[in-house]
Protein backbone atom coordinates (compact mmCIF):
# COMPACT_ATOMS: atom_id res chain seq x y z
CA UNK A 1 0.00 0.00 0.00
CA UNK A 2 1.34 3.45 -0.78
CA UNK A 3 1.06 6.40 1.62
CA UNK A 4 -2.18 7.51 -0.06
CA UNK A 5 -3.80 4.13 0.68
CA UNK A 6 -3.70 2.71 -2.85
CA UNK A 7 -3.22 -1.08 -2.84
CA UNK A 8 -0.83 -2.78 -5.30
CA UNK A 9 0.00 -6.37 -6.14
CA UNK A 10 3.73 -6.82 -6.64
CA UNK A 11 5.59 -9.83 -8.05
CA UNK A 12 8.49 -11.47 -6.21
CA UNK A 13 11.28 -9.78 -8.18
CA UNK A 14 9.91 -6.32 -7.35
CA UNK A 15 10.07 -6.94 -3.59
CA UNK A 16 13.86 -7.12 -3.56
CA UNK A 17 13.80 -9.11 -0.31
CA UNK A 18 17.07 -9.52 1.61
CA UNK A 19 18.06 -9.74 5.28
CA UNK A 20 15.93 -7.27 7.27
CA UNK A 21 15.07 -5.23 4.20
CA UNK A 22 13.36 -5.03 0.84
CA UNK A 23 13.32 -2.51 -1.98
CA UNK A 24 9.74 -1.60 -1.09
CA UNK A 25 10.68 -0.95 2.54
CA UNK A 26 13.79 1.11 1.75
CA UNK A 27 11.89 3.68 -0.32
CA UNK A 28 9.67 4.54 2.64
CA UNK A 29 6.78 4.91 0.20
CA UNK A 30 5.09 1.55 0.71
CA UNK A 31 3.82 -0.72 3.46
CA UNK A 32 3.67 -4.46 2.81
CA UNK A 33 0.25 -5.65 3.96
CA UNK A 34 0.68 -9.34 3.14
CA UNK A 35 2.82 -11.65 1.07
CA UNK A 36 3.00 -15.26 -0.05
CA UNK A 37 6.19 -17.19 0.57
CA UNK A 38 7.53 -20.29 -1.15
CA UNK A 39 9.43 -22.43 1.33
CA UNK A 40 11.83 -25.32 0.81
CA UNK A 41 11.29 -28.75 2.33
CA UNK A 42 13.70 -29.77 5.07
CA UNK A 43 14.32 -32.25 7.87
CA UNK A 44 11.39 -31.98 10.29
CA UNK A 45 13.45 -32.68 13.44
CA UNK A 46 16.17 -30.18 12.49
CA UNK A 47 13.60 -27.50 11.71
CA UNK A 48 11.75 -28.16 14.99
CA UNK A 49 15.04 -28.00 16.93
CA UNK A 50 15.95 -24.67 15.32
CA UNK A 51 12.45 -23.30 16.00
CA UNK A 52 12.68 -24.33 19.67
CA UNK A 53 16.10 -22.67 19.91
CA UNK A 54 14.71 -19.39 18.51
CA UNK A 55 11.65 -19.51 20.78
CA UNK A 56 13.79 -20.07 23.88
CA UNK A 57 16.12 -17.22 22.89
CA UNK A 58 13.16 -14.88 22.44
CA UNK A 59 11.58 -15.90 25.75
CA UNK A 60 14.85 -15.21 27.58
CA UNK A 61 15.91 -12.03 25.79
CA UNK A 62 12.96 -10.22 24.29
CA UNK A 63 10.03 -8.37 25.86
CA UNK A 64 7.22 -10.76 25.00
CA UNK A 65 5.20 -9.57 27.99
CA UNK A 66 4.96 -5.94 26.76
CA UNK A 67 3.75 -4.39 23.52
CA UNK A 68 6.71 -3.25 21.41
CA UNK A 69 7.80 -2.81 17.80
CA UNK A 70 10.58 -5.38 18.02
CA UNK A 71 14.26 -4.53 18.03
CA UNK A 72 14.46 -0.74 17.90
CA UNK A 73 18.12 -0.27 16.97
CA UNK A 74 20.31 -2.00 14.39
CA UNK A 75 23.44 -3.85 15.44
CA UNK A 76 26.55 -1.89 14.46
CA UNK A 77 29.30 -3.18 12.18
CA UNK A 78 31.84 -3.30 15.01
CA UNK A 79 29.67 -3.11 18.13
CA UNK A 80 26.47 -4.35 19.74
CA UNK A 81 24.14 -1.39 20.04
CA UNK A 82 22.22 -2.79 23.03
CA UNK A 83 25.52 -3.11 24.93
CA UNK A 84 26.38 0.55 24.25
CA UNK A 85 22.92 1.64 25.40
CA UNK A 86 23.33 -0.46 28.55
CA UNK A 87 26.80 1.03 29.20
CA UNK A 88 25.22 4.49 29.00
CA UNK A 89 23.00 3.43 31.92
CA UNK A 90 19.83 3.74 29.86
CA UNK A 91 18.10 0.44 30.70
CA UNK A 92 14.85 1.47 32.37
CA UNK A 93 15.03 5.03 31.00
CA UNK A 94 11.45 6.10 30.37
CA UNK A 95 9.37 8.86 28.86
CA UNK A 96 5.63 8.74 29.51
CA UNK A 97 4.55 5.12 29.13
CA UNK A 98 7.56 4.03 27.02
CA UNK A 99 10.72 2.51 28.48
CA UNK A 100 14.07 1.09 27.39
CA UNK A 101 13.58 -2.59 28.25
CA UNK A 102 15.44 -3.67 31.40
CA UNK A 103 16.42 -7.11 30.05
CA UNK A 104 17.61 -6.00 26.59
CA UNK A 105 18.42 -2.35 25.91
CA UNK A 106 17.79 -2.74 22.16
CA UNK A 107 14.02 -2.72 22.75
CA UNK A 108 11.66 0.07 23.70
CA UNK A 109 8.53 -1.26 25.35
CA UNK A 110 5.08 0.17 25.92
CA UNK A 111 4.94 -0.23 29.67
CA UNK A 112 1.82 1.83 30.25
CA UNK A 113 -0.07 3.67 27.50
CA UNK A 114 2.97 4.94 25.61
CA UNK A 115 2.47 7.28 22.69
CA UNK A 116 4.54 7.40 19.53
CA UNK A 117 5.88 10.74 20.81
CA UNK A 118 7.13 9.00 23.98
CA UNK A 119 8.97 6.42 21.88
CA UNK A 120 10.51 9.03 19.56
CA UNK A 121 11.73 11.04 22.58
CA UNK A 122 13.43 7.94 23.98
CA UNK A 123 15.01 7.17 20.60
CA UNK A 124 16.36 10.71 20.30
CA UNK A 125 17.76 10.62 23.85
CA UNK A 126 19.35 7.18 23.43
CA UNK A 127 20.99 8.17 20.13
CA UNK A 128 22.33 11.39 21.67
CA UNK A 129 23.74 9.65 24.76
CA UNK A 130 25.39 6.82 22.79
CA UNK A 131 26.98 9.35 20.44
CA UNK A 132 28.17 11.50 23.35
CA UNK A 133 29.79 8.56 25.19
CA UNK A 134 31.04 6.38 22.30
CA UNK A 135 31.06 8.67 19.25
CA UNK A 136 28.84 6.10 17.47
CA UNK A 137 25.78 7.01 15.44
CA UNK A 138 23.27 4.23 15.93
CA UNK A 139 20.65 3.43 13.32
CA UNK A 140 17.06 2.40 13.74
CA UNK A 141 15.81 -1.08 12.98
CA UNK A 142 12.28 0.30 12.88
CA UNK A 143 11.05 2.90 10.44
CA UNK A 144 9.20 5.94 11.71
CA UNK A 145 6.47 7.15 9.36
CA UNK A 146 3.93 9.93 9.64
CA UNK A 147 3.75 13.67 9.86
CA UNK A 148 5.40 14.07 13.26
CA UNK A 149 8.43 11.85 12.65
CA UNK A 150 11.79 13.04 13.90
CA UNK A 151 15.35 11.96 13.38
User: What confidence score (pLDDT) does residue 12 get?
Assistant: 80
Nearest to 104 by CA among 75, 136, 145, 143: 75
Q: Which of 40, 65, 71, 129 is catalytic?
A: 71
Q: Which of 20, 21, 117, 151 is catalytic?
A: 20
Whether 31 contacts 1, CB under 8 Å = yes
More confident residue, 55 or 22: 55
What SS3 state is found at 108? Answer: strand
| pLDDT tens by residue, 123-134 | 999 999 999 999
Of the chain, the percentage scoring pLDDT greater than 90 comes to 61
20 is a catalytic site residue: yes
Nearest to 126 by CA among 59, 72, 70: 72
Q: Which of 22, 87, 94, 141 is catalytic?
A: 141
Query: Mean pLDDT over residues 68-96, rounded?
Result: 94
Q: Which of 17-26, 92-101, 141-150 has the highest mean pLDDT?
A: 92-101
Assign 10 a pLDDT band (cuts: 50, 70, 90). confident
141 is a catalytic site residue: yes
Domain ranges across the chain: 1-37, 60-151
| Stated pTM of the model | 0.72
Of the options 3.30.420.10, 3.40.640.10, 3.30.470.20, 3.90.78.10, the CATH number for the domain spanning 60-151: 3.90.78.10
Amino acid sequence: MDMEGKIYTVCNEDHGFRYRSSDLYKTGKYIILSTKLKLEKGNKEQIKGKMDEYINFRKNNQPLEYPNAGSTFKRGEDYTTAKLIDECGLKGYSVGGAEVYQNHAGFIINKNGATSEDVVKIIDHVKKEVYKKFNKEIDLEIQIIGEDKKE
